[in-house]
């Protein structure tokens, strides 16, 4: 059956579509985008008072399958994505086994077709086992569906290996996504190094642990000409380095997470292990810097770094808990509450960082409502309010630092390839 979305405010980051247009969807594609469409027999979706946007793309999630199904599966992770308004996700390769060969990439793609409810794009490992020594077979990974390369969580410490990785990635035409962290500087720190770490008696991770690797990878990108995407940057210095690199014409892009533009290291004061993330929550100055970077275009993408863990893993003393929090189901609400309502970004600017920009960086044919495009659409009600309740989450993870927080502006419908997969905050069961 055809879907006809009427009465909504169309938010097109490319500015080519009339905001007052209706959308007609047929056989998984956008068939028409124009005013006052009439089509007998179509299922009418009344979007009055809501925003109709291209399907959201999260280019940084951890689906945990294969190997860590107790934390998350492709089925539960994609259900969480759909509830969060995302129609596509790119999943990191730190699975078990690591997604460093064609068999794992092939498994993820097949499993996503069998059990997933949104589009899944795997990211292949830069090095075998993400050990930082021997490069993966990058051309094979791309042939089987990888859209980028990353050793996320395990930074490539050897500069010679990273240089060769960028040279090969450029040859195969995919970007490198870098987790920027100097492990020696970070040592065994568990939170941001500063006043709060001293007060709380926890070992800190200095901002320099991130910034020296941001600087190195920008220099290597400049040397090799490889497109470089910097994951979850979080400090004043990182934002400045990216801004300066872009001014020189380096092919670098960057992302920030909702928790890094919302929370500071003061959130660690209660020793809630849901606040233990890598990179750590930073200071007020850092939060202000990433917001400024979002506003002036230095930061291209908003991504969640969705990282679910089991309750047993997180229910330990702070220093022993794994890094990571769940973010797919709170991201849009945090963007509207923290960025749009406060004037940091306009709705168009925010949606661009959630659609067009990640699609461009990954080279995937998504993030648009143009006629003929895949019918991936998200409908957001900017006036709806919701208190974060992890018992309603679709992800297996309950490690959210936002429990009890009131969010404004939430996705109310997710359409993937022309099929409604989420309506009124509930997944549509097949």
Report the catalytic residues: 305
Of 423, 358, 331, which is closest to residue 117 (Cα–Cα)?
423
CA angle 346, 48, 336 (to 5 degrees): 30
CA 375, CA 226: separation in Å to the nearest integer?
A: 31
Q: Using the 8-state DSSP alphabet, how is residue 425 labeled? A: T
The size of the chain, in residues, is 430
**Number of helical (H) and strand (E) elements in the chain, helices listed first:** 14, 20
Per-residue DSSP letters for 36-65?
A: T---TTPEEEE-TTSEEEEPEEEEEE---T
109 within 8 A of 130, measured Cβ to Cβ: no
Determine the Cα–Cα distance for residues 177 and 265; give it in Å rounded to an integer.
25
Cβ atoms of 175 and 235 within 8 Å: the answer is no
If one counts every other C-beta atom within 10 angstroms of the C-beta of residue 297, the result is 13
Identify the CA nearest to 303 among candidates 203, 249, 232: 232
Please say whether the beta carbons of 332 and 56 come within 8 A. Answer: yes
């Amino acid at each position: 059956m055809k879907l006809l979305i009427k009465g909504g405010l169309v938010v097109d980051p490319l500015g080519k579509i009339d905001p007052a247009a209706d959308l007609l969807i047929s056989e998984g594609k956008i068939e028409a985008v124009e005013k006052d469409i009439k089509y007998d027999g179509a299922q009418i979706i009344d979007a009055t008072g809501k925003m109709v946007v291209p399907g959201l793309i999260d280019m940084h999630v951890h689906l945990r399958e294969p190997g860590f199904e107790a934390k998350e599966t492709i089925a539960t992770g994609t259900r969480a994505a759909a509830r969060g308004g995302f129609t596509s996700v790119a999943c990191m390769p730190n699975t078990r086994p690591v997604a460093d060969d064609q068999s794992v990439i092939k498994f993820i793609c097949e499993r996503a077709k069998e059990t997933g409810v949104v589009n899944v794009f795997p990211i292949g490992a830069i090095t075998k086992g993400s050990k930082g020594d021997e490069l993966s077979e990058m051309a094979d990974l791309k042939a089987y569906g990888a859209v980028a390369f990353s050793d996320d969580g395990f930074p490539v410490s050897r500069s010679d290996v990273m240089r060769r990785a960028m040279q090969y990635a450029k040859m195969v035409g995919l970007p490198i996504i870098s987790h920027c962290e100097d492990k020696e500087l970070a040592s065994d720190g568990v939170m941001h190094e500063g006043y709060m770490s001293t007060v709380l008696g926890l070992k800190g991770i200095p901002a320099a642990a991130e910034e020296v690797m941001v600087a190195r990878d920008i220099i290597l990108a400049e040397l090799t000409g490889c497109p470089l995407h910097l994951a979850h940057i979080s400090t004043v210095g990182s934002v400045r380095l990216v801004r300066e690199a872009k001014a020189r014409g380096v092919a670098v892009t960057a992302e920030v997470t909702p928790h890094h533009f919302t929370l500071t290291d003061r959130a660690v004061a209660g020793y809630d292990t849901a606040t233990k993330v890598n990179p750590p929550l930073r200071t007020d100055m850092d939060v202000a810097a990433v917001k400024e970077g979002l506003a002036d275009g230095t930061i291209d993408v908003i991504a969640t770094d969705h990282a679910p863990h089991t309750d047993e893993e997180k229910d330990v003393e702070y220093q022993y808990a794994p890094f990571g929090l769940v973010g797919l189901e709170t991201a849009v609400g945090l963007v509207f509450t923290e960025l749009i309502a406060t004037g940091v970004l306009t709705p168009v600017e925010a949606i661009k960082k959630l659609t067009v920009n990640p699609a461009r960086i990954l080279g995937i044919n998504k993030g648009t409502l143009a006629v003929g495009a895949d019918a991936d659409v998200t409908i957001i009600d900017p006036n709806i309010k919701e208190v974060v309740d992890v018992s309603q989450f679709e992800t297996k993870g309950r490690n959210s630092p936002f429990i009890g927080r009131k969010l404004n502006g939430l996705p109310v419908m997710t359409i993937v390839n022309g099929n409604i997969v989420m309506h009124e905050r509930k997944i549509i069961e097949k």
